[in-house]
Amino acid sequence: AQSVTQPDIHITVSEGASLELRCNYSYGATPYLFWYVQSPGQGLQLLLKYFSGDTLVQGIKGFEAEFKRSQSSFNLRKPSVHWSDAAEYFCAVGAQGNEKLTFGTGTRLTIIP
Amino acid sequence: DAGVIQSPRHEVTEMGQEVTLRCKPISGHDYLFWYRQTMMRGLELLIYFNNNVPIDDSGMPEDRFSAKMPNASFSTLKIQPSEPRDSAVYFCASSSSVGGNQPQHFGDGTRLSIL
């Protein structure tokens, strides 16, 4: 069975600073990996996804993530955060042929001026 | 394009009452998922359907919960009787199997409070 770990419950970053949110997964084969963002009172919105190919994937809102098989990681990055990036971020893993996703517990991002 | 539509957005009711949550998936999507989100347990998958057929309901907490999908454009999640511990945000999501393992698209959720 697959699993996802987001080790950071809460991260605080200054506006304009760089950001990296960690995600580690456990799955025997090549996983399908996703990052979602949830703003207060809203549903989850897809930021980016990795299925295969280039291990560095670009997403919306200036986010990117890098798949590292050797580290079982799929960390989310942004070079310069904006106050509007404050939200909860979820990493999720899926398996080929299985539409179920396993979500991490989320990382809450706070942006300070 | 219209996204996943959930109703109502908020529901407050007394324990023991029946609660029905509704979801309209994105047109053309053949998978539909119901999730529950709480502070304590995070995001939990309750049940999912493929082509209107329930595939996995192992996440449904107990017999008080039931879900149906009578057609490709509508699903309900029902709780009867409701209890205070059912208070949570319930999300519906849909996805397409075309191309394999496409992302799930979420609705804005129903915030349920059981008094």
- CA angle centred on A92, ends A88 and A94, rounded to 5°: 165
Find the closest chain A residue to B33 by CA distance.
A100
Chain B interface includes A42 (CB < 8 A)? yes
pLDDT tens per residue, range A43-90: 999 999 998 888 999 999 999 999 999 999 999 999 999 999 999 999
Question: Is the Cβ–Cβ distance between B12 and B84 less than 8 Å?
Answer: no
Q: Which of B45, B100, B105 has its CB closest to that of A100?
A: B45
Largest Cα–Cα separation, chain B: 44
Q: How far, in Å, CA of B36 to CA of B59, rounded?
A: 10
CA torsion, ordered A46, A51, A55, A58, to nearest 10 deg? -30
- Model confidence over B52-108: pLDDT tens digits? 999 999 999 889 999 999 999 999 999 999 999 999 999 999 998 776 668 899 999
* CB–CB contact B108 A43 (8 Å): yes
DSSP code of A52? Answer: S
- Dist CA B94 CA B83 (whole Å): 27
Q: What one-letter code names the amino acid at B17?
A: Q
CB contacts of B57 in chain A (<8 Å) are none
What mean pLDDT value characterizes chain B? 93
Of A94, A103, A105, the CB nearest to B101: A94
pLDDT of residue A97: 72
Residues A22, A91, B72, CA angle at the centre, nearest 5°?
Answer: 175
Do the chains contact at B48 and A41, CB–CB below 8 Å? no
